Structure 1
């Protein structure tokens, strides 16, 4: 997760060029091989762009989580968010009422981490535990592919996250938009 800003800047400039380079380099290959290799290069570039974005988000998060005042504001804003309503809406919308309990559990755990002013490392440990509990272990238990469970979990996670961000934005919270 720790990458120098110089390396990130270089990667940001390099990634768009890679697609062009592969397009030019592979032009003399047979069409089907050229298409396969270009698609792989394009996919590789998308992954690099995502990693660069995640790294920037992580850097911002680390800065926030190392500031006690920011954490206090986040906790205050979090407590004003109606998580019960959000969980009920999402559970109803995805037609999975049992997911409400899971979401509420995760919200309580997150609030606990904020109360303890957990740093980035503790937050990452929590994320890894969440993935193990609700994705990996669930896939083993149900005997279905991890990818299927992960997609479902991410759908819920993104939906809940969107609703929370909406509420934070509408409430003009103190911590929203800090970096």
Structure 2
């Protein structure tokens, strides 16, 4: 029937996400997506009007899942444990898969395609979400005097730090190095 998708959209988006995450947006072709999802290229194009719009749909799904998991990690009563959980989630997510998949946001940001306004806005939204989650958690700590920095500075520092962790993972592929560096960041941020 015309206009009705003849494929499972949830499964297709998850499979497409895996391709974008492993290969990056620039290196992924519509043929790659068709092969991975089992959906014909023409059907993917008709449903999403091309690779960029499919990526944006996938990235929105990724953003919702990642920020929900980050919020859950930050929900711990102890700020130290919350940050440890947050960094463990970030690191575990990056090192998943063989080869490791890294970070979809940073991978997309550095492959040149982020100059496209719609892509840049989507990436910026993700980073803004991360910073807002961190800011809300750090602002809640302000009355406890447990942080060495004001909430706005701490949230921007940690958000920026996570992008550096992603790059270090790509270069060293050493999870223990990442965990040690994250532990140092917790020491810098949390008093005592």
TM-score (norm 2): 0.30
* More helix per residue: 1
For the pair shown, the structure with the greater C-alpha radius of gyration is: 1
Taking structure 1 as the reference length, the TM-score comes to 0.31
The higher relative CO (CA closer than 8 Å, separation ≥ 6) is in 1
